[in-house]
Amino acid sequence: MAPFDYSAAAGLYPCKTVRRTSHLRYKRFDSAAEALRFAIEDMPASMLRGSVLEVEEARFDGVQMQKFYEADAYPLSRRKN
């Protein structure tokens, strides 16, 4: 498996909630790092599980997104909790 490219353009497909229609829809980002930051820091945590990140035709689920965000290679600063 090739290393994850944080600088590649990415698309984020937030999950749809069962009870209500989410106001979050597909978003395009200039970099996968920005998409990860949005998914982890700005989306409700309950939506991450069913969301999909698409980078260079590869698709990643919420668990994988969390791992990429927490990795030492993640290039952006993380929000302090």
Q: Where are the domains of the chain?
A: 10-70
Cβ distance 48 to 42 under 8 Å? Answer: no
Give the distance, in angstroms, between the CA of residue 20 and the centroid of all CA atoms in the same chain: 21
Cβ distance 8 to 56 under 8 Å? Answer: yes
Instruction: Give percent above pLDDT 90 in the chain.
Output: 67
Cβ distance 35 to 47 under 8 Å? Answer: no
Q: Convert the pLDDT of each residue in 50-74 to its tens digit.
A: 899 999 999 999 999 999 999 999 9
Instruction: Give percent above pLDDT 70 in the chain.
Output: 85
- Averaged pLDDT, 33-52: 93
How far apart CA 12 and CA 27 sit, in angstroms, is: 5
More confidently predicted of 36 and 19:
36
